[in-house]
């Protein structure tokens, strides 16, 4: 499933950043099973939500229970996000995180339902 961000009312620089990040997310998701994809999107959703409300940059991986494969994927995405959002002005960054938040919320719900309809956390 290709990552497609809703691009209504999105300025061109933000659109470009979302396109690049979307392609990189697709590459990372290709190596993850549905449960891991849900974990990935849940982490992105929480992070994007914080970024829409705060100016400080919290850690992308906030949960200790994140699977190692998901952690690696998030670390790679974080690097791409940092690079591409650094090129955006404050308004563009805000819009970027709003769009990412909306899409991550949808994808977390879709993948949660696809892997059994309930939240699970590893105990490792």
**pLDDT for 89 beyond 90:** yes
pLDDT tens, 102-122? 999 999 999 988 876 544 443
Domain ranges of the chain: 12-114
pTM of model > 0.95: no
Sign of CA dihedral 33, 5, 89, 20: positive
pLDDT tens, 13-33? 999 999 999 999 999 999 999
**pLDDT for 123 beyond 50:** no
């Amino acid at each position: 499933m290709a990552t497609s961000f809703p691009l209504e009312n999105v300025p061109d620089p933000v659109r470009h950043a979302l396109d690049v990040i979307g392609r990189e997310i697709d590459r990372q998701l290709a190596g993850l099973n549905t449960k891991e994809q849900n974990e990935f999107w849940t982490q992105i959703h929480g992070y994007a939500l914080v970024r829409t409300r705060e100016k400080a940059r919290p850690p992308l991986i906030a949960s200790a229970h994140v699977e190692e494969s998901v952690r690696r994927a998030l670390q790679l995405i974080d690097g791409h996000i940092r690079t591409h959002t650094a090129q955006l002005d404050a308004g563009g960054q805000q819009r970027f995180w709003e769009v990412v938040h909306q899409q991550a919320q949808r994808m977390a719900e879709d993948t949660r339902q696809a892997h059994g309809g309930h939240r699970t956390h590893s105990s490792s």
